[in-house]
Amino acid sequence: MLAEYFPILLFLLVAGGIGIALLLIGAVLGPRSKNKEKSEAYECGFEAFEDARMQFDVRYYLIAILFILFDLEIAFLFPWAVVFKQIGLVALVEMAMFLALLLLGFVYCWKKGALEWE
């Protein structure tokens, strides 16, 4: 019974050994600089002047969400268009409802000013 789990145990040991070996090789052969300036993050030749955790405008996220939404819409339209003749009129009505809901959401975002960038 335990012999059936031996390949899994062997796989875990080999994978863990490779992971530990790569970490050790990187620590031993990796660059070690005593120069403080060389070990700092490089940012276009300038000193870092802001915190990395700066706030973004919420409109950026709205545009990103809208992009993902309409990108997914296309992902649904292509397979539907390929099999349109086989699925018939019911699928046409369902896709029309789907596109109408997306259009309604787009108009709502447009009226709310989510697409306006000042």
pLDDT at 50: 66
CA Rg, the chain, in Å? 27
Model confidence, pTM:
0.46
In a domain, 34, yes or no: no
In a domain, 38, yes or no: no
Residue of 61, 69, 65, 59 whose CA lies nearest to 101: 69
Residue 92 to residue 84: CA distance in whole angstroms = 8
Q: How confident is the model at residue 78 (pLDDT cuts 50, 70, 90)?
A: confident
Residue range of the domain that includes 94: 2-28+57-112
The number of folded domains in the chain is: 1
Q: How confident is the model at residue 71 (pLDDT cuts 50, 70, 90)?
A: confident
Reported for 102-107, long-range contacts at CB under 8 A and 24+ positions apart, including other chains, are 102/69, 102/70, 102/73, 105/69, 106/66, 106/70
User: Is the pLDDT confidence value at 13 over 90?
Assistant: yes
